[in-house]
Structure 1
Amino acid sequence: MLENRKWVIIGVFCLVGLTYLARLFYLQVLDDTYSLGASKNSIKRVVEIPYRGQIYDRNNQLIVYNTPVYDLYVTPKQVKIPDTSAFCRMMDITRADFDSIMGIAVNYSPVKPSLFLRQLSKEDFARIQDALVDYRGFEPIISSMRTYPAHTMANALGYVSEISKKQLEDQDIMYYRQGDYIGHNGLEEEYEEQLRGKRGVKFMMQNVRGVNKGSWKNGAFDTLAVAGQNLITGIDVEVQKYADTLMQNKVGAVLAVEPSTGEILVSVSAPTYDPNMLSSRFFSKNYRALIKNPYKPLINRPVMASYRPGSTFKLIQALIAQQQGSLFTNTYYGHGGSPMRCHCRGGNDLRGAVQNSCNPYFYNVFRKFIYHNGEHNTFKASAIGLHEWHNMVEKFGMADRLGIDLPSELKGNLPTPEYYDKAYRGALRWKFSNVYSLSIGEGELLISPMKLVNLAATIANRGWYITPHYIKGFGKAGTGVPNQYHQHHETGIDYKYYLPVIDGMRRAVLAGTVTPLVNTTNIELCGKSGTSQNAKYGHKYDHSIFIGFAPMNNPKIAVAVFVENAGWGGKAAASVAALVAERYLKRKTEALVLDAQVKASNYLPPASALIAPKPKKPAPKDTTQKPAKPLMATRPKSITGTGISGN
């Protein structure tokens, strides 16, 4: 019995021993987990950032390229600085900056490298390169910086800067790391995925002191970085820079589009800034200065500003009323019975009304449109008519965002019956007399310059448009344009109804509301001026607006110009538009008198007038009891303007 128990115990010990031996064999021979874990202490993973794609204009001129620079990294535990003051002088930083940067680096990791200084130019690095030998713990790494040789189009291009904490947290796929650069605003953000390229990874061997000992396994596991795709835009940079000069000392926007393709040729937001300001290591300082600038140069006015379109909107009124059947080419309206004033004499037919921008005419056109539904109840008729009006106008791209390839496009406002129901606190509490300012592009109507240049392109095409877009393609082949920028959008207005409107637009330039000097461009310009009400809202002058296209037949360019506080639309805005179209079509400027006049014009309001005054402290309340006023029945006041629009 004892003998049998002995062998059982020996067998158990042997089994346990064999199990341990088998496990040890597996761990040391078959399983490489611990081997790889140990290798992490001797193998350094180095991420290679690819060169960002460059940006070109339609004629292959560089708009944005990459300049090699150096980023300086620091490993706090390795740092030895004999003279901190001398080091700060060499780096051109203050002692406070040094202490702050080192504090951040230590908090991140005393033994891992972190960013010390970004974007040292080749000249700056050459100046400190030899001296860095005396300062252990600092390592330079080659990087790149965006450079803008044309010094233009800052708002549309956007900029590249360090990724924010929120963007890091919101990543669907973990691609970016803290300290990485990413496109912000404009085309840099819109086409970030294509422009950024694909990262590469290198595995380097290093000893216990962190000294590199060459590539691990001869680079068998390395991946090469792939440069970003080059973006070709539809911009004509030569005309773009010329338009910039015309908008000096002015606030507003200039947009030009090729009607047949929807490609944006010119995109000016004024005042603007040199995009190179936000591509250096002084980004934070320069950005703060731009934020504080009272003229708001960071606002991309072509897509972020909303204006009343003024008389330019009369073109849509004429088109939809003809399609509805409530307006004919020979329809004649005089000035009698209209609450609106006008600068032209007598009555007009359709062509003459467009030529002379007759306010009473389009008041009557709009009124006939609204009441054309046959409903006798004026409240109900207004709601039904406005609903039909809204449905027809929105086909011109006015009701929502157009869908251009910029991330900052705002919607604007195309009023609906529901909008007025809310404004007047209930249905059937408003009627035509409350909304007739819409007839001349005033009241609650708000439209961006981008939507108005699209209107000009739509009329140039006689009834259709392609969504305006900056992209022309990627790479030399110019491929990769999103499908939505090939699609035709129909307005639902018959071709024949555009002809009298276009004829009126040509007459407006030849002998109508547009200054005669515009005709010295000799480009067969068709256009419509507008004066957006602004003076009655506390400003000295109204906004000057013009939309048009040239030449009259087979148009090559459509233009929209807004000049804030410049008054009459037929002068300031029309002059800029004509010169931009002339430069694009002729590749030179022949209307030299008009050119000199525009460049000499200054409509820039004083900066002091743009700074909002600090709110005053409320006066102490009078606690003495006053007799109560008698209750009176009230009704909502009209929220529209009724003054002159659009010359």
Structure 2
Amino acid sequence: MSVFNQPRKRVIQAIILGMVVLIITRLFFLQIVEKKYAKLADANAVLRKVVYPSRGIIYDRQNRAILSNDVLYDLVVTPASAKNIDTAYLCKILNIDKEEFRKRIINAIVRNGRVRQSVFAALLPAEVFGQLQESMYLFQPGFELVPRQIRSYPYAAAANILGYIGEISPERLKDTTYSSYNSGDYLGLAGLERTYEAVLMGTRGIQYLVKDNLNRPQGAYENGEFDSAAIAGKNLRLSLDIELQQFGEKLMKGKMGSIVAIDPQTGGILAMVSAPTFDPNLLTGSYRSTNSVLLNRDTTKPTFNRAIQATYPPGSTFKPMIALVGLDEGVITPSFGYPCGGAYYGCSRPIKCEHHDAGHAANLRLALSHSCNSYFSHVYRLCVDASKFGGIRAGGLQKWSDYMNSFGFGHRIGVDVPSEARGIVPTPAFYDKMYKGSWNSCTSVFLGIGQGELTLTPLQMANAMCIVANRGSYYIPHFVKSIDNDDTHLLDKYKEKHVVAHISDTAYSAVIHGMTDVVESGTGRVAQIEGITIGGKTGTAENYGIVDGKRTKLKNHAAFVAFAPAENARIAVAVIVENSGFGARYAAPIASLMMEKYLKDSISTKRQALMKTVMETVTLDPAMVAKSKLDSLNNSAIIKKNGTK
């Protein structure tokens, strides 16, 4: 028996010896070779402190900082150390009761445990910070004041573009997309802050501090050997002109609608105004949450970015696109005329035209300059009913829809701020569902004049003007033209030139001539700028809403689209002023003033009166204004910024 037991005994001894050697080797590595883990293992002796980086700055096209950083303080707590402190006095300073104090301590333990720091009171107002700073010795070692960078908006403009930051929510923390964030961290929640969060946020640093037997920090651990420095976020350089943006917001004060201005040569957005708007400083600092609730509840919906989220029938501003399709399909030529006597009678009910004089639609240029509804209703029907498509239902409407999609309609263009709407471009399937298969070109004839089921965003309308001005090409509209020290490819798609279908230069030239006539001698003469040739188109979009449960005709929206100089455009503009009547009344002057400001850097003396009139005009519904708190909120932001009462 002993002969057979000997090998088994040796095997067992060998296994035990091997395990001992393995354990000794691992301990040697951890304690001698890799000292870091041994030194940081004792959580009772070393405090791990997060160092937040500076968030990236945002600059406009003239390198002016339009979004920068300020500092406020958070009061943080380590629950295990919050003992034998003057709780009553702390509650008095923070204006909370003892029940709220206990609730916050419990929440801190649930979030981060007893020995880790958690935010107890975030972004302290100056007066609260001052009292705490004087009395912190009464609340230590459990409590500490920690600096926290917040955003500031020195120009108090472009709120819906820049966006804002806020504390990450518990729901997001559960999402693996945000695995690098911790409770209490801030991130971009809207606008450019959200889109470019990954480059703006920077990289957090870690600082290790030695604690004494009372849990008080005593200094750097191992002379900072294991600390990691915070790396600042990268800066964004925009195509936005902040002075043009401010000017546009002043022009739209008291109105509802939007302005979009784009550089056709690059796709860079020069201004994007959504009105009514708000001071972005309302969404920073200790009152951010309260102000956010008030803004979201306001009757004027200032947080709704009408430039990319609202959709409208484009009205007559759409006629240049109808003309391009007609020319490209060969159903008309630039000399094609239509005998309009004041209405279009080709369908069951007449479509009214504002002009009655003979010859006002004798050719394309005249029809565009006079904005003849009959002419473009007829051109639309010629396109979709063309025999080569087998008629509108067999292929004509689908072909027309394909043209519209190539112009950037009916889908998101891809602007670099979130929540862009698609708009609607009707297709055969759309009408089959709507009319149960019984429809024809008269059913959809209003598409020819930018009405009916067609809806576009102001951004899409402005981008269409870039296409016309460039004679068939565009770049995806965007705000960010460069990122400092960029090693990503985030901006590559905005540098790619997109060519629209196969429409000829001749067709574009014919349409551009008609659009310059609109401003020189047609419906848009109010938009003239001395010394600059402008291509433009007025529009009046019918507006329906639900009143007392019924679909009711409301006051029309005014629209104007344009580009200048017409020969080599540097700016393309779309303006919508809701519930304000004809496009020439308000939309055209606003677009013209924006172009003059950008191209000439100032408004001429001759047009100062026009500018004053536009700025003082209020088109908002008085009942809506009466219920709105927006003006008082914006005034409070100005007072806070100026430090006055």
Amino acid at match of 2:225: A
Q: Is the 8 A contact 1:473 1:479 kept in 2?
A: no
- Equivalent residue in structure 2 for 1:388, among 395, 399, 408: 399
1:500, distance to aligned residue in structure 2 (A): 2.0
Structure-2 separation of matches of 1:405 and 1:9: 72
1:28, distance to aligned residue in structure 2 (A): 5.7
Q: Deviation per CA, 1:97-132, whole angstroms, max 9, x where unpaired?
A: 545433422444344321112223666534421211
Q: Is the 8 A contact 1:246 1:598 kept in 2?
A: yes
User: Is the counterpart of residue 598 in structure 1 residue 608 in structure 2?
Assistant: no
TM-score, normalising length from structure 1? 0.86
Report the 3-state secondary structure (helix = DSSP H, G, I; strand = E; otherwise coil) of the residue aligned with 1:327. coil
Q: Is the 8 A contact 1:550 1:557 kept in 2?
A: yes
Amino acid at match of 1:174: S
Amino acid at match of 2:458: P
Structure-1 separation of matches of 2:263 and 2:7: 95
Structure-2 separation of matches of 1:9 and 1:577: 95
TM-score, normalising length from structure 2? 0.87
Amino acid at match of 1:316: M
Amino acid at match of 1:561: V
Q: Deviation per CA, 1:583-635, whole angstroms, max 9, x where unpaired?
A: 11111111112101101211111345999xxxxxxxxxxxxxxxxxxxxxxxx
Structure 1 window deviating more from structure 2 (501-510 vs 308-317): it is 501-510
1:173, distance to aligned residue in structure 2 (A): 6.5
Structure-1 separation of matches of 2:137 and 2:529: 67
1:85, distance to aligned residue in structure 2 (A): 4.9
Alignment match, 1:258: 263
Structure-2 separation of matches of 1:402 and 1:19: 66
Q: How does 1:578-617 map to 2 (within 5 A)?
A: 578-590=592-604, 591-608=607-624
Alignment match, 1:344: 355
Structure-2 separation of matches of 1:444 and 1:317: 15
Report the 3-state secondary structure (helix = DSSP H, G, I; strand = E; otherwise coil) of the residue aligned with 1:130. helix
Q: Is the 8 A contact 2:519 2:526 kept in 1?
A: no
1:425, distance to aligned residue in structure 2 (A): 2.5
Amino acid at match of 2:613: Q
1:22, distance to aligned residue in structure 2 (A): 5.8
Structure 1 window deviating more from structure 2 (455-464 vs 169-178): it is 169-178
- Equivalent residue in structure 2 for 1:151, among 156, 161, 165: 156
Structure-1 separation of matches of 2:408 and 2:7: 91
Q: Is the 8 A contact 1:303 1:410 kept in 2?
A: yes
Structure-1 separation of matches of 2:244 and 2:7: 98
Structure-2 separation of matches of 1:551 and 1:226: 44
1:477, distance to aligned residue in structure 2 (A): 9.2
Structure-1 separation of matches of 2:262 and 2:16: 83
Q: Is the 8 A contact 2:481 2:491 kept in 1?
A: no
Structure 1 window deviating more from structure 2 (119-128 vs 233-242): it is 119-128
Alignment match, 1:644: none
Q: How does 1:604-643 map to 2 (within 5 A)?
A: 604-608=620-624
Amino acid at match of 2:556: D
- Equivalent residue in structure 2 for 1:508, among 479, 499, 518: 518
User: Is the counterpart of residue 118 in structure 1 residue 132 in structure 2?
Assistant: no
Alignment match, 1:548: 562
Report the 3-state secondary structure (helix = DSSP H, G, I; strand = E; otherwise coil) of the residue aligned with 2:73. strand
Q: How does 1:348-497 map to 2 (within 5 A)?
A: 348=361, 349-374=363-388, 380-426=391-437, 429-475=438-484, 482-491=491-500, 492-497=502-507
1:72, distance to aligned residue in structure 2 (A): 1.0
Amino acid at match of 1:557: I
Structure-2 separation of matches of 1:374 and 1:213: 85
Structure 1 window deviating more from structure 2 (562-571 vs 121-130): it is 121-130
1:485, distance to aligned residue in structure 2 (A): 0.9
- Equivalent residue in structure 2 for 1:249, among 236, 250, 254: 254
Structure 1 window deviating more from structure 2 (106-115 vs 32-41): it is 32-41
Alignment match, 1:618: none
Structure 1 window deviating more from structure 2 (549-558 vs 262-271): it is 549-558
Q: Is the 8 A contact 1:168 1:177 kept in 2?
A: yes
Structure 1 window deviating more from structure 2 (518-527 vs 253-262): it is 518-527
User: Is the counterpart of residue 217 in structure 1 residue 225 in structure 2?
Assistant: no
Structure-2 separation of matches of 1:521 and 1:267: 25
Between Structure 1 and Structure 2, how many residues are aligned?
Answer: 604
Cα distance change, pair 522–480 in 1 and its aligned pair in 2 (3 A) = farther
Cα distance change, pair 521–382 in 1 and its aligned pair in 2 (3 A) = farther
Q: Is the 8 A contact 1:54 1:229 kept in 2?
A: yes
- What fraction of aligned residue pairs are identical, expressed as a percent? 36
- Equivalent residue in structure 2 for 1:191, among 193, 196, 201: 196
Cα distance change, pair 556–280 in 1 and its aligned pair in 2 (3 A) = same
1:157, distance to aligned residue in structure 2 (A): 1.0
Q: Is the 8 A contact 1:295 1:607 kept in 2?
A: no
Q: Is the 8 A contact 2:252 2:615 kept in 1?
A: yes
Alignment match, 2:639: none
Structure-2 separation of matches of 1:302 and 1:10: 83
Amino acid at match of 1:224: A
Report the 3-state secondary structure (helix = DSSP H, G, I; strand = E; otherwise coil) of the residue aligned with 1:361. helix
Cα distance change, pair 13–394 in 1 and its aligned pair in 2 (3 A) = closer
Q: How does 1:566-577 map to 2 (within 5 A)?
A: 566-577=580-591
1:524, distance to aligned residue in structure 2 (A): 2.4
1:45, distance to aligned residue in structure 2 (A): 2.6
Cα distance change, pair 17–555 in 1 and its aligned pair in 2 (3 A) = closer
Amino acid at match of 1:116: F
Structure-2 separation of matches of 1:443 and 1:9: 92
Q: Is the 8 A contact 1:81 1:87 kept in 2?
A: no
Amino acid at match of 1:506: T
Cα distance change, pair 15–473 in 1 and its aligned pair in 2 (3 A) = closer
Structure-1 separation of matches of 2:504 and 2:443: 31
Structure-1 separation of matches of 2:553 and 2:485: 49
Structure-1 separation of matches of 2:9 and 2:465: 99
1:366, distance to aligned residue in structure 2 (A): 0.6
1:279, distance to aligned residue in structure 2 (A): 1.0
Structure-2 separation of matches of 1:598 and 1:51: 41
Q: Is the 8 A contact 1:518 1:594 kept in 2?
A: no
1:538, distance to aligned residue in structure 2 (A): 2.5
Report the 3-state secondary structure (helix = DSSP H, G, I; strand = E; otherwise coil) of the residue aligned with 1:182. strand
Q: Is the 8 A contact 2:413 2:476 kept in 1?
A: yes
Structure-2 separation of matches of 1:248 and 1:578: 17
- Equivalent residue in structure 1 for 2:571, among 557, 566, 571: 557
Q: How does 1:11-50 map to 2 (within 5 A)?
A: 29=28, 32=31, 35=38, 38-50=41-53
Unaligned residue ranges in structure 1 (runs of 5+): 612-647
Q: Is the 8 A contact 1:311 1:441 kept in 2?
A: yes
Q: Is the 8 A contact 2:264 2:569 kept in 1?
A: yes
Q: Is the 8 A contact 2:125 2:286 kept in 1?
A: no
Cα distance change, pair 31–118 in 1 and its aligned pair in 2 (3 A) = closer
Report the 3-state secondary structure (helix = DSSP H, G, I; strand = E; otherwise coil) of the residue aligned with 1:203. strand
Q: Deviation per CA, 1:277-297, whole angstroms, max 9, x where unpaired?
A: 111122221111011101111
Structure-2 separation of matches of 1:149 and 1:270: 20
Alignment match, 1:134: 138
